[in-house]
Chain A
Amino acid sequence: MCASVKYNIRGPALIPRMKTKHRIYYITLFSIVLLGLIATGMFQFWPHSIESSSDWSVQKRSIRDVPVVRLPADSPVPERGDLSCRMHTCFDVYRCGFNPKNKIKVYIYSLKKYVDDVGVPVSSTISQEYNELLTAVADSDYYTEDIARACLFIPSIDLLNQNALRVKETAQALAQLSRWDRGTNHLLFNMLPGGPPDYNTALDVPRDRALLAGGGFSTWTYRQGYDVSIPVYSPLSAEVDLPEKGPGPRRYFLLSSQMALHPEYREELAALQARHGEAVLVLDKCTNLSEGIPAARKRCHKHQVFDYPQVLQEATFCVVLRGARLGQAVLSDVLRAGCIPVIIADSYILPFSEVLDWKRASVAVPEEKMSDVYSILQSIPQRQIEEMQRQKWGSVSNPLFLPLIPPQSQGFTAIVLTYDRVESLFRVITEVSKVPSLSKLLVVWNNQNKNPPDDSLWPKIRVPLKVVRTAENKLSNRFFPYDEIETEAVLAIDDDIIMLTSDELQFGYEVWREFPDRLVGYPGRLHLWDHEMSKWKYESEWTNEVSMVLTGAAFYHKYFNYLYTYKMPGDIKNWVDAHMNCEDIAMNFLVANVTGKAVIKVTPRKKFKCPECTAIDGLSLDQTHMVERSECINKFASVFGTMPLKVVEHRADPVLYKDDFPEKLKSFPNIGSL
């Protein structure tokens, strides 16, 4: 036993390196061992051990070898489905709390072949589709082999097609599952429910409290928030490769491709075709196809033969009409072909309707309105049709989308990043402390080799001043979401920005309050497309446009610190720290990407000059600096996969800025002085 298992596992790895002779030897050996295993009849023990020990010891097996289970005629049958079931009444959540991440664990019962007491099978053992489905579940993170830790149980009894099983006996098979317990936490899959003559819209197999993922639910059988509506699988979708087709007009406006339609419906469709001619195409089964051509792949209109499902791509709208069942496999084909489904099936619960907004990709028409379907569709504007053809389900949203002006009383927290320019830092602290709305000042001390000055040496200011020492001299420390930040507004300011007046800073804060989802800053910069080099270029000249603000002096929402630190895409954060540059450009990219909005530059341009330091402008003039900054833009654009920065031609000034109006009556008189 041990030997066989060992070779089985090591075999594939060893074989390529061995000579043919040796390979034959091992394969022979393996086969003999396998034969020996079967011969000794060890598998007869296997079913008894499955529930207690772990799963199969040999992973590759044949369907024909699955154990047979005989169901006595009087074995119990579960209650019929309980229509009043909801998660809180029929679902046992206590089984789902085993792992800390609140992730549900799914157990799959092992495959067995069920026969009645005279040995006639209850159903086909397993279909190809159900095997694929279970394989997918088993390959996912949700799967567990440990039945005791499972929250959800999936029987391997194949219920996909009700016609392929015996209802009562299948129910008996369900009831004898080891953890059945009235079907609690059991998930059943079914695509073709009901049978003639009534065609119920949910699986007829009595299933008590089990959850049902079914194709073809109606509002009468669907238990909202408990059952799941799934699409009916179409084998053609897997077989045929259809090219993607962009939005736009198609050859036919409306197409019907279903073969078995009730004569009344077919008459209605024929009438539509008669009325609207070429625009409507009603297809039917082909009557005289030559041998060997699968009937499922062809459709006919009179004597014209069409390939299916390819013909669906020729139409803007495709009818998905209720048959005996509400769920139709043609819906899958239509969606895949990029045709807009026109669903004519009253009370049908569309697949995954709890999470998908079908209105965006389909049209539902009541059955009684079928004769008006053409005019209903005609009334849909072309633009909406194109949006439906794109079948967009998701959309981007601004994390701070609510239009709201935070109260002024909250104030802002100034964060000064500093290394060792103490004198300049103290001047900045003194200047910033004059701003009325400052509520706290945070100094991020980025120098590990030097201690910050003694407490007594710091300027005495009216608001709390806190020094945070960092573990490493990294630029990203400026954007860390420190617990000390209690206000929503953050002013990032360099330790050499001493030329901004109190009026200018206060005004910047007021502007930020009206744009709390944007970067509101002082020096503005621009990105440009360099046609010669075919790449982006950084621009700091006097331009009429702005697409970035420098974070050497900028207000923003503290949420962006969280985003910068934890959600920055790709390796940008490390890249910035390694290059000691462009943290501000990275922040501009991040905010623009997530909000889709432009920055706001406030107040006129200043000469950012100070006597003892290389200010932003001074630095920017440096040629290598410009090249580096341009590189940053190109690097970030490639990581983001797009250029999120938005270019604008405006800046914000006080309402009465430079107006002919008494200065002393202006709110922010000291703005724009050089």
Chain B
Amino acid sequence: MQSWRRKSLWLALLTSWLLVLLGLFPLFRLSVPTSPRAGAPQGWPHWLDAELLQSFAKPGELLEDGPRPPQVLRGGSCNWGACFDTSKCRGGGLKVFVYPAAGPVSETRRRILASVEGSRYHTLSAAEACLLLLLSPDTSTGECDPVPPQWDGGRNHLVLSLHPAPCPRTFQLGQAMVAEASPTVDTFRPGFDVALPLLPEAHPLRGGAPGQLRQHSPRPGVALLALAEDGGRWHVAGTDFSACPWDGRCEQDRGPKQTHPGATLPNATFCLIPGRGPDVLHFLQALQAGCIPVLLSPRWELPFSEVIDWTKAAIVADERLPLQVLTALQEMPLTRVLALRQQTQFLWDAYFSSVEKVIHTTLEIIQDRIFGPSAHPSLLWNSPPGAILALPTFSPSPSDFPFYHLQQGSRPLGRFSALIWGGAPGQPPLKLIQAVAGSQHCAQILVLWSSEKPPPTRWPKTAVPLTVIDGHRKVSDRFFPYSAISTDAILSLDAHSSLSTSEVDFAFVVWQSFPERMVGFLTWSHFWDEARGGWGYTAKRTNEFSMVLTSAAFYHRYYHTLFTHALPKALRTLADEAPTCVDVLMNFLVASVTKSPPIKVPYGMWHQEARPPPLEPGGPGLRQEPQPAAQNCINQMAAGFGHMPLVSSRFRLDPVLFKDPVSVLRKKYRSLEKP
């Protein structure tokens, strides 16, 4: 014990002395790297007295930071809360009035006006409008409008200029919002102004060219990069692109040059777009081409940045780091490349491909601001089919729509409502009602009585509730979103339809796998008629189809809302005038939303033999060949949509053991096998 103590004291003394010797500054510095700790992780010190540290705020300070009266409007800058009077929009929601053009109207301006007037928010009365739209003069007229009559300091006004205004505005913008193409980030007021894309002069009014992407993944050997050049051209570079392709700084390093003069759409995986240049037109071209836009330090606000999550479709990179950007692009994981490519196409098609879409998106953004909590969730803006086609008035919950079950991990409700359109006199469709009510999935039967004569007083007794609704005798009424429809699935039927319980059961189970599509029994197919230079369609049995008849089809009840509230009135009127057109219209609508064909399920041929001949030609029934007059309908629809949305399919979905050489007792849907 004694020796220990002595030893320790001695050692301590020795060490202290050593330290004093080493304590000279230069030696200290040298000793640090050689010390055993040199390689050990160091960093922010772990304070011995960290426990004693005070909180950054005194106990009450966070909870009471001094009361402050309600905010007063600050001069100079505007934001939504301060400069827009939402009380004007109460009741009717967004109502948009557009000032009529004074003097000659340019083509672009005409398209914008037509788009606004075609919008479901348009009103002809400035007094009832809550948003007043002022079109900024465009290049061709060159005349500046005077201050409009209801200007009121610009309150609740949106000044819209799709093209850079050629003449200075003669009045102060005041409290007006500005929707302009590619605004600079310095003047843009987020949440108040709207950033628009810079559209080419010849941008179509509606429909618009589809995205160029034909496959999900880039084709092997396709160029990695395309670089935006002046005059809307692209310089496509090979995959072995070495370095700094922009600013002309490394000209000699350019890969094999493949400039296609006049080629407006780039064929590459990534499209480099300089941020300062005025030709942001390149941005839309890249989007359409499915070429992932790589924006090099953009000085302008990305279009509709308030609602579109551009991180999912484009890359914002720093133009000062060419090597790092190139490396990052080359090494980008395939999964991200795929996702970005697809998103460009979705965004192009949903919001940018026509003037109408751009205008409607702008109005939808304003509408969302007014809606506040019940606006489109971000998911609806940023995944197909997009916010214009997903009406927030239908439901605030994405799982109520047919499109988001995968993202939400939800499923459509497990039963259906049969909606029977009965317009013809005679007996109630007993057999049909019994067959449908016999389905275990049937929740209710709704009869939409649309005849002049009163409906029969006695209806068959069924296991499920049967309700008779008085229709308005218009064909388009059958697609009205009746509040009585309580299920996600609707089985749309004609009184003349003939179906078996087995067929209904199987079709419904198939529909549950494809809740966004129409699942039907009888099909039509469309074709391009060279001789007449237009579209035609046929009910003949062929190896493919693109439409299913709504006289017997399952679809999601959301399409009733979309049909009634989103379709242009002119198209619905057209359908009312030529009843067979209503099938075409419904198929157009669903196809334009899903970009997919409908689904056909087996239908017993014996139905058609047993079926009475249709009472009125072309009337609602199990229609065969469309009447020649109706042929024109498909072309009018295609014009109304701006393109041909129908997609053909070459298969039919049958039960797994359909007509297989195995005992029928094993088969769940054995009655489908009747000859």
Given contacts A1-B19, A357-B377, A598 and B513 within 8 Å (CB-CB): yes
Cβ-closest chain B residue relative to A26? B8
Q: Which of B120-128, B404-412, B447-455 contacts the other chain? A: B404-412
Kindly identify, within residues 375 to 425 of chain B, every residue whose CB is under 8 Å from any CB belonging to chain A: 375, 377-379, 383-384, 395-397, 399-400, 406-409
* Listed stretches B67-75, B157-165, B526-534; interface member: B67-75
Q: B62: CB under 8 A from chain A?
A: yes
Given the complex, which residues of B lie within 8 Å of A397, measured CB to CB? Answer: 339, 383, 406-407
Q: Say yes or no for B15: interface residue by CB 8 A criterion.
A: yes
B11 touching A29, Cβ below 8 Å: yes
Q: Is the CB of A324 within 8 A of B214?
A: no
Instruction: Give A332's nearest chain B residue, CB to CB.
Output: B62
Known: A61-B45, A93-B320, A357-B378. A400 touches B338 (CB 8 A): yes
> Complex: how many Å from CA A294 to CA B42?
39
B interface list, Cβ under 8 A from A: 4, 8, 11-12, 15-16, 18-20, 22-23, 25, 28-29, 31-38, 40, 42-50, 52-57, 59-71, 74, 77, 79, 81-82, 86, 185-186, 189-191, 213-217, 219-220, 275, 297, 299, 318-321, 323-324, 327-328, 334-335, 338-339, 342, 345-346, 372-375, 377-379, 383-384, 395-397, 399-400, 406-409, 506, 509-510, 513, 523, 541-545, 594-597, 600-601, 605, 647, 649-662, 666-669, 675
Inside 8 A of A605's CB, which chain B residues have their CB?
657, 660, 662
Q: Given A102-B327, A322-B68, A395-B407, are A346 and B82 also a contact pair (CB < 8 Å)?
A: yes
* A402 adjacent to chain B (CB < 8 Å): yes
A467 at the interface (CB under 8 A from B): no
Contact (Cβ within 8 A) B655 A650: yes
Q: Which residues of B contact A650 (CB under 8 A)?
A: 506, 509-510, 513, 601, 653-656
Chain A interface residue count: which class?
35 or more
Q: Which residue of B lies closest to A234 (CB)?
A: B62
User: Can you list 26 contacts pairing A with B, beta carbon distance less than 8 Å?
Assistant: A9-B40, A55-B42, A57-B32, A60-B47, A63-B47, A96-B321, A131-B53, A134-B44, A135-B46, A138-B44, A160-B57, A220-B79, A234-B62, A264-B69, A295-B60, A360-B377, A364-B373, A367-B71, A381-B397, A402-B213, A402-B345, A483-B220, A510-B651, A650-B510, A655-B543, A657-B654
User: Is B22 a contact of A108 with CB atoms below 8 Å?
Assistant: no
Contact A163 B650 (CB under 8 A): no
Question: How far apart are A666's CB and chain B's nearest CB, in angstroms?
Answer: 6
Are A4's CB and B19's CB within 8 A?
Answer: yes
Q: Decide if B70 touches A264 in the complex (CB within 8 Å).
A: yes
Query: Is the CB of A164 closer than 8 A to any CB of chain B?
Result: yes
> Given A28-B8, A264-B70, A380-B396, are A667 and B56 neighbors across the interface (CB < 8 Å)?
no
Interface string of A229-266 (1 = CB under 8 A from B): 00011110000000000000000000000111111110
Segment at the B interface, from A35-43, A270-278, A425-433? A35-43
- Please, which residues of chain B bring their CB within 8 A of the CB of A366? 81, 86, 372
Decide if A381 touches B656 in the complex (CB within 8 Å): no
Q: What is the minimal beta-carbon distance from B445 to any residue of chain A, in angstroms? A: 24
Contact of A131 among B4, B12, B47, B596 (CB under 8 A): B47
Contact B70 A42 (CB under 8 A): no
- A610 in contact (CB, < 8 A): no
Contact of A655 among B79, B82, B406, B545 (CB under 8 A): B545
Cα A84 to Cα B82 with chains together (Å): 22
User: Nearest chain-B residue to A384 (Cβ)?
Assistant: B396
Q: Is the CB of B667 within 8 A of A544?
A: yes
Any B CB within 8 A of the CB of A387: yes
What's the least CB distance linking B240 to chain A, in Å? 16
Is A168 interfacial (CB 8 A cutoff)?
Answer: no
Q: Are B55 and A262 in contact (CB under 8 A)?
A: no
Rounded to whole Å, the gap between the CB of B323 and the closest CB of chain A is: 7
CB within 8 A of B19: which of A37, A129, A234, A655? A37
Residue from A128, A225, A325, A346 in contact with B71 in the complex, judged by beta carbons closer than 8 Å = A346
Contacts of A196 in B (CB 8 A): 66
Most buried by A among B20, B23, B57, B662: B57
B193 to nearest A CB, angstroms?
11
Interface string of A568-597 (1 = CB under 8 A from B): 000000000000000000000000000111
Any B CB within 8 A of the CB of A434? no
